[in-house]
Structure 1
Amino acid sequence: MELLLETVALYSLKLAYETEGHSPIRRDDPLMGSCDREIFELLIRRGDVAGIQSEVGRCVDLALGAVGGVDSVLGRELRHLTADFGAAQTMEELYAPAVTLRSYLRDVL
């Protein structure tokens, strides 16, 4: 699960900050900040669903801005997927929306 959440964050940051012709953003990039695997591992161990949603939400909000906001087609779909992720109340409920979110972000990249 940590890797899945880190990948969602990574894809979001790639959308927001990566530009053609520059070095790609990687998992060990300082830009990842609090969205790295260890942070997600700690949040998962604590069962902190709200903390996970907050960290992922922060990164996805950056991606949302990069795709044109909620008024764009990509932005509306991203907001919808983020809402599904945010509606989860247990760790088990986070998994399916996180997979869908990751797949969507990968396709947009």
Structure 2
Amino acid sequence: MELLLETVALFCLKLAYETEDSSPILRDDPIMSDYEREVFGLLVRKGDVETIQLKVDECVGLALEAIGGVDKPLGRELKRLAAEFASIQTMEKLEAPLIALKDYLKDIQ
């Protein structure tokens, strides 16, 4: 799950900050420091669903802004997927909506 969370954060930050004329954002970039696999791993081991959701929401907010907000079709779908993820209350049920979010972010890169 940690890798999946890190991937979602990476795709969000790529949408928000990566430009065609810049080098790509990678997992070991300083911008990823709050969203590293180890950070998420600690939260997963603690079962801290709320903090995981807050961290993902921060990243999704940046991505939403980068794609024009919820007034755009891409933004509406991203918001819907993020809301589905945010509504989950147990660690066991986080994976499916997280995969949907990751797949969507990958598709709109």
Same fold (TM over 0.5): yes
RMSD of aligned Cα (Å): 0.5
Distance 1:33 1:69 in 2: 25
AA aligned to 1:39 is V
TM, length-normalised to structure 1: 0.99
Give the equivalent residue in structure 2 for 1:92: 92
Which residue does the alignment assign to 2:19? 19
Give the number of equivalent residue pairs.
109
User: What is aligned with 1:36?
Assistant: 36
Deviation (angstroms), 1:92: 1.1
Aligned residue number for residue 53 of structure 1: 53
- Cα deviation, 1:11-62, whole Å, max 9, x if unaligned, reads 0000000000210000000001211101000000000000100001101100
Matches of residues 58-69 of structure 1 in structure 2 within 5 Å? Answer: 58-69=58-69
Fraction of identical pairs, as percent: 61
SS in 2 for 1:33: helix
> Which consecutive segments of 4 or more residues in structure 1 shift more than 3 A?
none
Q: Residue 78 of structure 2 corresponds to which residue in structure 1?
A: 78
Residue type of the partner of 1:77?
E
Cα displacement string for residues 60-96 of structure 1 (whole angstroms, at most 9, x for unaligned residues): 1000001100101000000000000000100011100
Q: Which runs of 5 or more residues in structure 1 are unaligned? A: none
Q: How does the TM-score come out when normalised to structure 2?
A: 0.99
